[in-house]
Amino acid sequence: MLDTHARKYVQPSIERTAKSFLTIGLTANAVTVIAFVIGASSGLIYYAGFPILAVAVLWISGYLDAVDGTMARLTKPSPFGTVMDITFDRIVEISVILGVAFVHPDSMWALLLLSVSIIISMTIFLTVGAISEKQGMKSFYYQAGLAERTEGFILFSAMMLFADYVLWITLLFFVIELFTGFQRFFEAKRILS
């Protein structure tokens, strides 16, 4: 929801960064890899006992993830870049989930439910994007929903920063993600029928 409706407020900063990176010779795919390495470290950093640093690197990777897409649109989008971007995004999420799971083993069952809801929602999102004839700003049809990347980062951050409430934040995230999956499923029925 925030990615769809609030992006216009941060897009000028993202574009300035994208143009700066292009000026110094970085490619969109290089920034995708940098964002991935930074983001994938967040779970390990959390597990090592540095929750504030883990949240910081998660958000830096998210910002760079937005920058790489803008860089691609300013130059020539690469289909493989899209594959890397989507795959690396999920690995960053897995990193956080695993980091939280190892620190809070009593919440593993809820984290497993959250993982299932992400798989369901992303399966619908990617399938609709692949078979839909609609094209958006991205290289595929982007289905908006209640939980997009920014909402996920907010909830992942809350999970890492508020250790006493990991279980409840995870269950809230699970419900929001599952709702998003249903939202996308019914939108798919409407636009693909």
To the nearest 10 degrees (0 to 180), the angle between helices 79-103 and 51-74 is 170
Q: Report d(CA 17, CA 9) in Å as an integer.
A: 14
Q: Domain containing 144: what range?
A: 2-192
State the pTM of this model. 0.88
Identify the helix (H) or strand (E) that includes residue 48. Answer: none
**pLDDT for 152-181, tens place per residue?**
999 999 999 999 999 999 999 999 999 999
Q: What is the mean pLDDT of the chain?
A: 90
Q: What percent of the chain has pLDDT over 90?
A: 68
Q: How many domains does the chain have?
A: 1
CATH of the domain at 33: 1.20.120.1760
- Among 69-73, 105-109, 110-114, 145-149, the minimum mean pLDDT is found in 145-149
